[in-house]
Amino acid sequence: MWRTNWWHIKIARHYRLFMATGWVIDHPAHARLLAPLMRELSSPDDVIIACERFEVRAMIENSDGHMPRRRTVWVPRPIGKGRWRKAWKRTKISRKALKGVDKVISIGAPLELRAAPKNAKKFYITDTEVNHLAHRLSKPTDIIIPTHFNEKLAEPLMKKKARFHRIDGLHGHIHLQPHIRPIEVSNPPEILVRKLIGDGVHDTDEILPIPDSWFEGLSINFANENEVEGNPWELDLMIAQMNGVITQSVTLASEAVILGLPTLLVSKAKRGFLDRLQEDGYPLFIARDYDESVLAAWLAGIHLLETLDIPNWPNTKSEILDLIKH
């Protein structure tokens, strides 16, 4: 009897290990995006590969009620001095942590796809066409991109020998929910501002400083990178209480506008999702230089909230769930 039970346990453990998934969280936005997917698909034998970043650690440590608790393995962020040594160390750690998984879910992080078991299914999710180094390094079996993805900006990725899947909507449509935004504008208007450190692989040449003069006459609430106070999971609730947003972050800009907030993005960035947001009539204003007319248009937009007609919310979450659970 004991021998039979022991073998049953051994077989069960082997089966659970075989069905385990590795979830790669390389950025705080990845935690928000993967959380609703993990709540529906994750099993207790899954592993989280988490990048050692201030905001990522804050989200993992405060994940109760947002994301299932799973064994978490921390890996270095391969940027700056010694980045190739960090990349080698990260790959080594990830290879050991992912041993036995049959699926890896990664958002723009290539090293875990290279470290995953040979026969594992490897999903590479991205909406960032210009993340060329990651695209080149990735070895996915499946690539998930949005319908508005600008292929001309992402040639290294589009040449990959993998199955391509397209989903409608933005990444924010997966983890956010429509909010009732304030109709009455405060006096002075309440504005959320997010500044970036600018040490990312692809954003160094995109970031423009935000002139202090652009804050005049506004009540400013800072949520700068690595300086967000309170629960990092509630940033969307904080956004929804504002009258507008000024940011250097394309991710925050996209999330703010689909929540209905007039948003001024100060950046040289080019993304397919930015084009779609403007084409669909979202209140996104992009200052790719210090054009005062863009600032003036955004300020006017703040006072026209009641006239905004936000497009219907696409069912992006169901689309991506159907892709990765099979």
Confidence of residue 203 (pLDDT cuts 50, 70, 90): confident
pLDDT tens readout for residues 125-152: 999 999 999 999 999 999 999 999 999 9
Please check the confidence at residue 204 and state whether its pLDDT lies above 90. Answer: no
Please check the confidence at residue 24 and state whether its pLDDT lies above 90. Answer: yes
pLDDT tens readout for residues 151-189: 999 999 999 999 999 999 999 999 998 876 666 899 999
* CATH class of residue range 2-175+316-324: alpha beta
Confidence of residue 11 (pLDDT cuts 50, 70, 90): low
pLDDT tens readout for residues 207-254: 999 999 999 999 999 999 988 888 899 998 899 899 999 999 999 999
Q: In this structure, are residues 132 and 48 in contact, taking their beta carbons and an 8 Å threshold?
A: no
* CATH class of residue range 190-307: alpha beta
Given this model, what pLDDT does residue 244 score? 96
Please check the confidence at residue 202 and state whether its pLDDT lies above 70. Answer: no
Helix axes 28-41, 54-61, angle to 10 degrees: 30
Please check the confidence at residue 27 and state whether its pLDDT lies above 70. Answer: yes
Please check the confidence at residue 13 and state whether its pLDDT lies above 50. Answer: no
Helix axes 272-279, 250-258, angle to 10 degrees: 30
Given this model, what pLDDT does residue 184 score? 85
User: Mean of the per-residue pLDDT values for the chain?
Assistant: 91
Please provide the DSSP assignment of 212-236 as one string: GGGGTTSEEEE--TT---S-GGGHH
Given this model, what pLDDT does residue 309 score? 75
Backbone angles phi, psi at 222, to 5 degrees: -80, 140
Confidence of residue 103 (pLDDT cuts 50, 70, 90): very high
Confidence of residue 205 (pLDDT cuts 50, 70, 90): confident
Residue type, 63: S
Residues in Cβ contact with 308 at an 8 Å cutoff, skipping those fewer than 6 apart: 260, 262, 283
Given this model, what pLDDT does residue 2 score? 39
Q: Where in the chain is the domain with CATH 3.40.50.2000?
A: 2-175+316-324
Please check the confidence at residue 30 and state whether its pLDDT lies above 50. Answer: yes
Residues in Cβ contact with 81 at an 8 Å cutoff, skipping those fewer than 6 apart: none
Given this model, what pLDDT does residue 265 score? 98
Given this model, what pLDDT does residue 17 score? 46
Please check the confidence at residue 8 and state whether its pLDDT lies above 50. Answer: no
Given this model, what pLDDT does residue 10 score? 45
pLDDT tens readout for residues 262-319: 999 999 999 999 999 999 999 999 999 999 999 999 999 998 876 677 788 999 999 9
Alpha carbon distances (Å) from 247 to 30, 43, 85, 220? 19, 36, 32, 12
